[in-house]
Amino acid sequence: MTNRIIPYLTSLADDELVLGHRDSEWTGYAPILEEDIAFSNIAQDELGHSLAFYTLAEKLGNSSPDTMAFDRPWQKFFCCRFVQYPKGDFAYTVMRQFLFDSAERVRMKSLGSSTYEPLRDCSSKILAEEAYHLMHTQALIERLGDATEESHNRMQSAAAAAFPQSLGMFEDFEGEDELVKQGIIVPSKDLKAEWLSFVVPLLERASLKLPVRGLEPDCIPDLGGRRGKHTEHLAHVVADLQKVYQMAPGANW
Amino acid sequence: MKTLTHHTLEDVWKALHDVKDPEIPVLSLVDLNVIRDVAIDGTGVSIRMVPTFSGCPALDMMRQEIVAKLREVGFGNIDVRVDRNAVWSTDELSDATRAKLREFGIAPPARKGNSLVAALMLPVECPFCHSKETRLEGEFGATLCKQLFYCDDCRQSFERFKPL
């Protein structure tokens, strides 16, 4: 019965792995040293979270975390399309990270009452680590949203691009109904509603406009990742993150 | 290598006190509270350890060092299992551990109790001059477990262990 959780765990782990890799692309390139350190740390945390989810899946009979991350074709990933897009400019990076961290907080909080104990334990640890990410990205949003004309324009473009993509985080998981019925997870649409009630007013306070009517999205959501319908970017980012492993598969480092 | 005739749990704990955190060498793995269960069976020993931060890259090194240390004191079969589900919190670090951190120049983590956010609002004492006129320079630091502060009194940067 519990092996029905594997596709769900894989989706969460894939989101963390791919976004973590995107964050790591700022190491050595971020606009200021503090942000270089921040995004390198955030990248490392996200990789840690992907490891936690892959490990839970392994205990249920799935392949090892290394196999899942480094020896699996991109066609078999189940990350949302949102995390696949290139890092863009720093405004887009900050916006994407904020939308992701706030969604992760809502999701991890909801897993605190999951009927599946290992997921409950795992979520409480991740929740504490994520608090630092959200504090950081939220502060950047609040400062950059209406600091100067350029910062506002860049953040506004980032919001317009990232928001429809970010709705893909709440696309139904494979086997979601069954997991909901067993009390393992909360329906994705409920998480989305809670998340919207947090991010929409916060971005509005930062003078950023979203394609919404009230708290309802008024745009076409960028879906497909949970069903394996990926962007053209996933193949490239997966090739990049698997490059070293694939030079000597199975080597003992 | 010496051979023990009678292995005791005490031998194991004593050895683990000698294995240090690779990133904070004044703390042993026991100080860090990452060793949870120890069981011995003849010359075999099995240990359950927990990671500090999920993404801590020092974990594998800690594991290898535990194995090397226990082999050195004469244990044969050494099984170190990493339990990623167990919760690890800085709230459980002892006063002695906190004092060691301070002496090493790292401000110890505030106790978060029920609210991490409230704990992060508390003033942080400079580990060098003990002033509380300090400010956060960045939520993150050189390793996952630390963040950067600056002391306005002694004008020195310092790190604080992140409350988790």
Kind plus residue range of the DSSP H or E element containing A216: strand A216-217
Q: Give the residue from B84, B59, B33 showing the smallest Cα distance to A119.
A: B84
A139-156 burial: b if 16+ Cβ within 10 Å, else e: ebbbebbeeeeeebebbb
- Alpha carbon A38 to its chain centroid, in Å, reads 17
Asked if residue B136 lies in contact with residue A135, where contact means CB atoms within 8 angstroms, the answer is no
φ and ψ of A71, to 5 deg:
-135, 40
H-assigned helices in chain A: 6-24, 33-59, 65-70, 90-111, 117-144, 149-166, 176-181, 188-205, 233-247
pLDDT attached to residue A216: 95
Give the best-scoring range by mean pLDDT among A178-187, B6-15, B33-42. Answer: A178-187
Which band of pLDDT confidence, cut at 50, 70 and 90, is reported for residue B79? very high
Q: Report the gap between the CA of A101 and the closest CA in chain B (Å).
A: 15
pLDDT attached to residue B117: 87
Nearest chain A residue to B84 by CA distance is: A52
Tell me the average pLDDT across B134-151: 93
Nearest chain B residue to A52 by CA distance is: B84
For chain A, the C-alpha Rg in angstroms (whole number) is 18
- The per-residue DSSP string of A29-70 comes to TSSSHHHHHHHHHHHHHHHHHHHHHHHHHHHTTPPPHHHHHH
pLDDT attached to residue B7: 80
pLDDT attached to residue B81: 94
Residues 6+ away with beta carbon under 8 Å from A73: A238
Going across the sheet that includes B35-41, the strands are: B35-41, B44-49, B78-82
In whole angstroms, how far apart are CA B78 and each of A19, A132, B67? 36, 36, 6
**Chain B contact set for A38 (CB, 8 A):** 138-140
B59 C-beta neighbours (distance < 10 Å), count = 21
Nearest chain B residue to A124 by CA distance is: B87
- Interface test mutation site (partner B, options A37, A109, A138, max chain B beta carbons within 10 A): A37
Rounded-to-integer distance, Cα A173 and Cα A11, Å: 8
**Chain B contact set for A37 (CB, 8 A):** 138, 140-142, 148
pLDDT attached to residue A3: 82
**Chain B contact set for A131 (CB, 8 A):** 116-117
B69-102 burial: b if 16+ Cβ within 10 Å, else e: bbeebebeebebebebbeebbbeebeeebbebbb
Per-residue pLDDT of chain A (253 residues; tens, 9 = 90+): 568 899 999 999 999 999 999 999 999 999 999 999 999 999 999 999 999 999 999 999 999 999 999 999 999 999 999 999 999 999 999 999 999 999 999 999 999 999 999 999 999 889 989 999 999 999 999 999 999 999 999 999 999 999 999 999 999 998 999 999 999 999 999 999 999 999 999 999 999 999 999 999 999 999 999 999 999 999 999 999 999 999 998 787 7
Asked if residue A219 lies in contact with residue A211, where contact means CB atoms within 8 angstroms, the answer is yes
- ipTM (interface predicted TM): 0.86
pLDDT attached to residue B43: 82
- Quick check: B5 pLDDT over 80? no
Asked if residue A51 lies in contact with residue B55, where contact means CB atoms within 8 angstroms, the answer is yes
pLDDT attached to residue B84: 86
Please report the number of interchain residue pairs, chain A to chain B, with beta-carbon separation below 8 angstroms.
69
Q: Give the residue from B52, B74, B68 showing the smallest Cα distance to B2.
A: B74
Tell me the average pLDDT across B45-63: 92
pLDDT attached to residue A249: 87
Q: Give me the long-range contacts of A183-188 (CB less than 8 A, separation at least 24).
A: A183/A114, A183/A115, A184/A5, A184/A8, A184/A114, A184/A115, A184/A116, A184/A119, A185/A8, A185/A110, A185/A111, A185/A114, A186/A110
Q: Report the gap between the CA of A45 and the closest CA in chain B (Å).
A: 5
End-to-end CA distance of chain A: 35
Rounded-to-integer distance, Cα A101 and Cα A83, Å: 12
- What is the pLDDT of chain B when averaged over all its residues? 92
Asked whether the beta carbons of residue A37 and residue B87 sit closer than 8 angstroms, the reply is no
Tell me the average pLDDT across B70-84: 92
A183 C-beta neighbours (distance < 10 Å), count = 11
Which amino acid, A233?
H
Q: Give the residue from A133, A135, A45, A69 showing the smallest Cα distance to B53.
A: A45
Which band of pLDDT confidence, cut at 50, 70 and 90, is reported for residue B13? very high
pLDDT attached to residue B4: 53
Tell me the average pLDDT across B7-24: 92
Which band of pLDDT confidence, cut at 50, 70 and 90, is reported for residue B3? low
